[in-house]
Amino acid sequence: MHAGAAAEKGRRPVICICGMAGSGKSTVSRRIARHYGLRYCSGGEALKAVAAEMGYRVTGEGWWETEEGIRFLEERLRDPEIDRRVDQKQLEWAEEGGIVFDSWAMPWLLKGGFKVWLEASEDVRAKRIAERDGLTIQDALRFLREKESRTRRIYERLYGFRLGEDLSPFHLIVDVNLLNRDEVFEALRMVIDRVVLRPGIRS
């Protein structure tokens, strides 16, 4: 039986895929969701929707690494209710099951589910962001460090965890430094088939 069929028969998994910016979490999360016929939820996209409602000029995937994106991070630091509102909505969706979260907060906030951390070095991540957004590696590295410094402060202040440092919630840690997109997907698919969707495993 294909693993997707298992999901359709009522085993409604909740999968959280996490990693620092440029680790490839959004790409593989979408692909995993499509493969298993699950809903895809991006915490970053939910926050960007809030930013747009607040009057920010939200653009494409690399928006977080822009001056406007950094400014929104500062506003999130001043007003924690922005994140709490988004995170609470995601927790409600998790209760329904059948979802893949591309989220920084959910692995720590969600009690159940299967949680994956994608580990990539800062240099590798900066190079990927530079190629994706048409930046120099120096600019990508600068935005990366600014974003991550502020984001860590937000989550430590809100929930008490250190993003990228406390990996205790995760069931699987994958070093993606030397893996391409297909290899990361195949690694996760194999584990999900054998562990998450196998009869008798609680998801």
Query: Mind listing the pLDDT tens digit for each residue in 145-173?
Result: 988 998 899 899 999 999 999 999 999 99
Residue 100 belongs to some domain of the structure:
yes
Residue 78 belongs to some domain of the structure:
yes
Domain interval for residue 135: 13-196
Residue 91 belongs to some domain of the structure:
yes
- pLDDT, tens digit (0-9, with 9 covering 90-100), for 5-31: 334 344 589 999 999 999 999 999 999
Residue 138 belongs to some domain of the structure:
yes
Strand partners, 102: 17, 42
Q: Which helix (H) or strand (E) holds 50?
A: helix 43-53
- pLDDT, tens digit (0-9, with 9 covering 90-100), for 113-149: 999 999 999 999 999 999 988 899 999 999 899 889 9
Interatomic CA distance for residues 23 and 35, integer angstroms: 20
Interatomic CA distance for residues 137 and 154, integer angstroms: 25
Residue 114 belongs to some domain of the structure:
yes
Residue 69: what residue type?
G
**199 band by pLDDT with thresholds 50, 70 and 90:** low
Residue 155 belongs to some domain of the structure:
yes
Q: Does the pLDDT of residue 74 top 90, yes or no?
A: no
Residue 4: what residue type?
G
Residue 180 CB coordination number (10 Å): 10
Mean pLDDT, all residues of the chain: 88
Phi, psi of 43 (to 5 degrees): -60, -35
For 86, the token pair is 């988004």
Q: What is the mean pLDDT of residues 47-74?
A: 83
Residue 3 belongs to some domain of the structure:
no
Residue 8 belongs to some domain of the structure:
no
Overall number of domains in the chain: 1
Q: Does the pLDDT of residue 1 top 70, yes or no?
A: no
Q: What is the CATH number of the domain that holds 109?
A: 3.40.50.300
